[in-house]
Chain A
Amino acid sequence: MNPLLLALVTIRGAALALTVAGDTKTSNALYLVADAIEAGKATDDHMRAVADKLKERDLSQVDWDDVLQRIEADHARLHSP
């Protein structure tokens, strides 16, 4: 298993056990750590896919249009009230 994935599973498992045991303060902290790692992992996974795409040496206007559309959608979401 991917070490990072293993760490995530372990941390979330520990957080769940602590929640069940009633230590919500510590379990919340562990959930936040897992969330932070997962968010960073999402970007890193995405960039790995970008690296794989570049290897094809086939960038086109369609690729640019696609990324710009995604940016605008999430930019609007970030700045919405």
Chain B
Amino acid sequence: MRKILFAPLAAVLVLACSAIVAGCAGTKAAYQEAQSLDEYAYVITEHYASLVREAADLKEKPTTPRTAVSAMQEADKAAHLVVVGNPSGSPPTPGLAELAATYQRVRDAQTEAELQEAVNAAILRVADLVRAIKAARGGS
């Protein structure tokens, strides 16, 4: 049941990835390998980590247009908020790691729903970052 729930959401990210480069087999494999909601949250977090690294590398290339860098920074801020959370915010918001840990500990409908909601939001924000990176590569 959970795999059926994950599949359409994962498709958003794999499709965005495929738009950038032929050969998304590794990314697809990671999303397919996740068997639980907390594993899925971990995959998204690792995907985001790799993308932030790419974005930072692109920013350091002098040929990357400033507008493209700004777009990546904006997309990253939104994704960071959901994936990592904002512990110093008012109110503080948990990231995927904290929500996954709570879900693993408690395993009730509420913690599952909270993690699912955060995962859904993270997928969309990470997809935005994928597109911003693609635009930055194309413009440099």
Q: Does B78 contact A (CB under 8 A)?
A: no
Per DSSP, chain A at the interface is helix
- Per-residue 0/1 for A60-78: is the Cβ within 8 Å of any B Cβ (1 yes, 0 no)? 0101100110111011011
Any B CB within 8 A of the CB of A21: no
Residues of A with C-beta under 8 A to B73: 78-79
Q: How far is the CA of A45 from the CA of B23 in the complex (A)?
A: 10
Complex Cα distance, B52 from A79, in Å, reads 10
Within 8 A of B (CB), among A46-69: 46-51, 54-55, 59, 61, 63-64, 67-68
- Interface with A: B1-9, B24-32, B117-125, which one? B24-32
Chain B interface residue count, Cβ-Cβ cutoff 8 angstroms: 50
On whether the beta carbons of A36 and B21 are closer than 8 Å, the reply is: yes
Contact indicator B59/A51 (Cβ below 8 Å)? no
Q: Is the CB of B25 within 8 A of A70?
A: no
Q: Residue among A46, A59, A72 with the most chain B CB within 10 A? A: A46
Instruction: Contacts A50-B43, A61-B101 given; indicate if A44 touches B21 (C-beta within 8 A).
Output: yes
User: Inside 8 A of B20's CB, which chain A residues have their CB?
Assistant: 36, 40
Q: Which residue of A lies closest to B53 (CB)?
A: A74
Q: Are B58 and A50 in contact (CB under 8 A)?
A: no
Which single member of A4, A59, A74 contacts B49 (CB below 8 Å)?
Answer: A74
Q: Are B52 and A51 in contact (CB under 8 A)?
A: no
> Cβ of B47 and Cβ of A47 under 8 Å apart?
yes
- Cross-interface CB contact of B33 among A39, A40, A55, cutoff 8 Å: A55
Known: A43-B26, A78-B73. 14 other contacts (CB 8 A): A35-B140, A39-B57, A43-B27, A43-B47, A44-B26, A47-B26, A47-B27, A49-B26, A54-B42, A59-B42, A64-B42, A71-B48, A77-B59, A79-B73
Binding site for B on A (CB under 8 A): 4, 32, 35-37, 39-51, 54-55, 59, 61, 63-64, 67-68, 70-72, 74-75, 77-79
